[in-house]
Structure 1
Amino acid sequence: MHKYGFFRTACAVPKLKLADCQYNLRQMISLAEKAWDQGVEVLLFPELGITGYTCGDLFFQRELQKNAVKALDSLCQWSDGKKMLLVVGLPLAINGSLYNCSALLNDGKILGIVPKTYIPNHQEFYEKRWFASAKSLNQTEIPIGSQAVPIGTDLLFKHVHREEFVVAVEICEDLWVPISPGSFHALAGATVILNPSASNEVVGKSDYRRELIRSQSGRCNAAYLYASAGFGESTSDLVFGGNAMICERGILLKELPKFNLGNELLICDIDVESLNHDRQMQHGFGDSVDLLNNRFYRTITFETSGTNDFDREVNPQPFVPADPNRRSERCEEIFNIQTIGLATRLAHIGNAPMVVGISGGLDSTMALLVCVSVCDRFGIPREKIHAVTMPGFGTTDRTYDNAVALIKGLGASFHEISIVAACTAHFKDIGHPIDLHNVTYENSQARERTQILMDLSNKLGGIVIGTGDLSELALGWATYNGDHMSMYSVNASVPKTLIRYLVEWVADHSPEADIRKILYDVLATPVSPELLPPDADGKIAQKTEETVGPYELHDFFMYQMVRHGFSPEKVYFLACKAFDGVYHKAVIFKWLKNFYHRFFGQQFKRNCLPDGPKVGSVSFSPRGDWRMPSDAHATQWLKSLEKMEPIG
């Protein structure tokens, strides 16, 4: 998985016995063996896991201190020959002070010791009774057994083969301060931050803690592993729930439920390559380097064995939240962005009439619904929406009837202007046989429709509302200076897979049964430009996805390439995981090649797009998110794919 930038990480929550270092060592080794068998490369244990966190004044007992170090040495010996990074907590006495430390072990060596910086001493916490802050440490190295071990908060642990995989540690309370050590670690290059913790449970705390960890991973553009003490800690005054989380770039990947009985592993593959990509794009890291204030870091290398299997869910619809509640919230937010975007433009030009072409398909339906939303939100009569149906050679009864019923049902001004006579005359003018159904035949119809909308808009003093979506722009599936052009494009950064859920969301929330019925039928209609004549039964003969490929695949390809900058090999690998059992690998491979051909070849259309609101993380506005020369070549991307042979 290293070649794709994936590394297997895990949080371990062992069952423990307070002050029984040998018992705790056995539990740790048991979990570490399971982790090793499953290919884990970084394994994080809770804070002070060798002794337990709630030992109180027993921390001052020399017997406990000595046995903690012995247990550490035993764990280090166990790790000999195992290329896995282990992070374990213990108290260490140094120069007359006691420190709450995390030790990092790898292949039989103690690579480094990181002491806790911020020592909580408020409410239920009184750690300063026992532990000194790392700020008081005046050594950079300490002897442990026969080793001279680096110690400090200035340690970064870098993978020997993948330099972007850099690990750093902050301990429990370190995360809860205004500017945490982890923030400095990230600025210094750490892409993975580990937090061994002992955080007790009180009402409402877990929600705040989750958001704190999630937001820290987002701010630092890092993966964040959090493992908290659990079953076996003293419950005299507090309860520790054994919570564990793995976050990445603000997203909670996995979480171990609280109040487990211990000896639990939370395993997840993190994508360091995607983190590195985002850091390259966001210059906040470089611009914030002065915050390091002459902090200098020491780098220690480590090695891991890695794994060939893959333990991470890949969402086949990355633009669409899987959770229904989040999806509904997302749809509402996007619909509001589209509404406010169009309303602002209308207010700027004097609330001009809206002119929109309605085909009975998804995209034009979505655009019409946005226009209606603008009218209702801002007290504009719906009659100021001039909705135009323009039947042509390929129009079917189903889409025509839906278009007419929707326009009239929503109370927009209805216009029907056939393009058949105009296109027939145009074919005669340019000497094109009307029965030759080639690209000229198709594009002439699209341009005729656009001409009608533009000229009607001029007549009415209005503005043409574009209907095309993000997926069509990625593929160039639009007629240049036809449906490619408008005066404001409300769907320009909404992908096809999400448009469907948006229309469904509006339908579900519509109080009008007749409108709901029409919208549900639009959702059930095959995607088509309807530029070729219907079949013998009068049904749609030209189905877009049979020509360019399934939109759910292309939206997936687009997201992985544009949002994350992934290589063709990695996009293909992830697509095979996401669509396992849905599409044959050879089918995915075929449409991925088609995607790269079209994406590179159609940039000239994206370079002259009309205005439209950005709604998500991917946008092709030439004024904002995506700047690419029209004459860029896809050669290297296609060559990378040619090296791969789909198997199975």
Structure 2
Amino acid sequence: MSYPVTVATCALNQWALDFDGNYDRICQSIIESKRRGATLRVGSELEIPGYGCYDHFLENDTALHSWQVLVKLLSNKDLHDILIDTGMPVIHKNNRYNCRVFILNGKVIFIRPKLYMANDGNYRELRWFRPWEKRLQVEKFILPKIVQDITNQTTVMFGDALIDTADTCIGVELCEELFTPESPHIAMSLDGAEIILNSSGSHHELRKLSRRIELIREATLKSGGVYLYANQQGCDGDRLYYDGSAMVLCNGDVLAIGKQFSVKDVDVVVATVDLDDVRVFRTSKSSRGIQASNSSSYPRIETPFSLGNPKLQNSLPLICPTPPKAQLGLHTPEQEINLGPACWLWDYLRRSGTGGFFLPLSGGIDSCATAMIVYSMCNLVVEATQSGDEQVISDVRRVTETPESENYIPSDPRELANRIFHTCYLGTSNSGTETRERAKALAEAIGSYHTDLNMDTVVESILSLFKLVTGKQPKYQVYGGSATENLALQNIQARLRMLLSYLFASLLSWVRGRSKSLLVLGSANVDECLRGYLTKYDCSSADINPIGGISKTDLRSYIQYSSKHFSFLCLEDFLNATPTAELVPTTEGYVQSDEIEMGMTYSELSAFGRLRKVGMCGPYYMFRKLACKWGGYYTPAEIAQKVKRFFFYYSINRHKMTTITPAYHAESYSPDDNRFDLRPFLYNAKWTMQFREIDEAVKNYTLTDQVSTLQPAF
């Protein structure tokens, strides 16, 4: 018979190269796991150095300091009597591996290297690590001298093996290995592993968590067993936000799951399982038994330790297995936008040493959404401080420059926003009264420290200088000027807004009697970045951008959600407004409109972006895909024209992505060339062969149905 086994998995807010802070958070999670009765604790991938070290993994310093942290973990007797799974880089035979290191009572038990690397999208693991290709094999690993001195061990086994405890068998599946076609959990389960551990560094994308849960659910439903999933949480120092959601599943049921978004540094998820449930589940399936009897055998690492405690079997209160969760309570995309970027912003703010944010508030949807995300951040922080989270309280006092004599604890998100969030309407003679009023109303609703100005005199000074030097006076197109003049006049305003934003971000705190500068927030959405519908080095240029990976369509849905969630009636005005840059004069016959100027709708842009990045389509295959998808609404010639227009503007504006503001990654078609989208920035924008093939295809298409009046499916 088996005894109840209590296990713990974690989501830690680790920070790349913050070895002292990472050690403290690891210790806190282990002590919390023990306090709640766990005898096995699993941590996130590379939790000792932090997952986002990137090229720092190539430095010997990173490996050295990781071993030094492991020595501290081994030496800490408060961490005894629990099997600990932690992560760090390990160099074996002059190869660097991404490893799980198992320790117990001051000894190193086993080192398991990662088998399959994540090497696409945001990940470049093959740049830093080698995969372990000796399946079902182990070798002796010589421990560093600093470890030998405290453990009295010289070597430990290194490779692909299972851990045998006195009462069960444990297998390891590392992050990407879950997503591969031949996932290791299948072979490990067939060979008797009853508990599978997965330590991940999986980032947040909109609508992604449900896929992750279903993969694990399917793994345990098909193979049986207990699955412990740990994940990094928070901003590790880059564009990604790791969304936690540590969980425990058994035989297809979710027993426990942690928060997806949290400002807490340590989230420990605990569940109690009955291993007899696993054994009954497996032995009742005949086909599984046939496969198991012919499965390959793993090497075993024998560990004289029992996860279950027979002394607790008849204790009071009874130790009962954790029941399956009836509802998981997954977030909608609108809730994800409300929470994910907000947590990312808080991590960035508290770790940057600055005193708050500055946002040019234009009165449009994009800056409105950015402001609402900052307000959501303030709301999350206030909730954490009111619940007594000492780490958040300390961070708030440091950011707000609260004197040590004051025991400041924010109780209202609007009051906190007034301290750390600064907004400004940067108007010109081209700005509308409505946009100015919308910006003012939103600032009042969220409590930001708001300023309002007209910068016409600054614009006129620049134009006067130009006229003095050249003798020429450029004019807007509506007044008879050329397209070249028109664009230059718009860009002057846009770029001056960037200069003024940084001026105000540097000095507004000083104006208010404080010393710290502010972080400038950008508010260009992912579709505008894809099309290049922004001015290089305008107010889209900033320190960070919380909405740079979110589509215009999702942002509109988010504002609708926020209007109800926060009861801000002023948000309805943003939804009803026409998207406009307000950079040219409005006349009786002309009002500037984003979608008209772009020559495509935001919904169309999203479709182009997904086919370009996710579908890996060039112009010709994009046309073919859209001819099927949009054929009932547009003619082939119209679709061809739209595809050509997109690729032309994508090509001539791609260079803007080389300087784009670092943005929260939330969308799989992000055009960010600095990390995610590795494409050129200098193209032959004529696409001669590609467009010629499209033209030939248009000639050969024959319409079998009349073009309908229905909207195309995006």
Q: If the length of structure 2 is used for normalisation, what is the TM-score?
A: 0.44
Q: If the length of structure 1 is used for normalisation, what is the TM-score?
A: 0.48
- Structure of higher CA gyration radius: 1
